[in-house]
Amino acid sequence: MTLPEWLDGLDPRPDVPTREQGVKWVIVLDRDLPRGLQVNAAACLAAAVGRAAPAILGEPGLDADGGAHSGLPWTGCTVLAAPAAIVRAIRAEAVAAPDLLVTDMAAIAQRAGVYLDYLAELGRSRGDDLDYYAIGILGPRSAVDRLTARLPLLR
């Protein structure tokens, strides 16, 4: 995965409302998957984005009793729903855009019980043959909105 250059200079803005951020992060899920698979896919993509772009994570905090709470993305994350064909089409457009960080979960990922088996099956699969349960897109707000603005929230 090639990271967009702007990620190196990303200036965390936890003081700005998420709707006013210059960057936007969305996860687009196949709307027809069972809820458990949707949640699993979203969680896996969140981990992938956190690893690829740790600058989007805010500082940990303490509650009034001194209890520790993990840092969360200051960008927020909008979770959207679309038919599988639209998820695939948006992914194709997003990976062609050099200014976007794109993560994905192909259906084969949830079928494999061992990560190395997933990698092996992925290596045997042609890109055009992969079905996607979900994609994540992080990038300049205008570029992300251009791809996803018409999609509904997952409900």
pTM of the model: 0.92
Q: d(Cα 87, Cα 104) in Å, to the nearest integer?
A: 10
Share of the chain above pLDDT 90, in %: 84
Per-residue pLDDT at 2 exceeds 70? no
Q: Is the pLDDT of residue 55 over 70?
A: yes
Tell me how far apart the alpha carbons of residues 79 and 85 are, in angstroms, rounded to a whole number.
17
* Average pLDDT of the segment spanning 51-59: 92
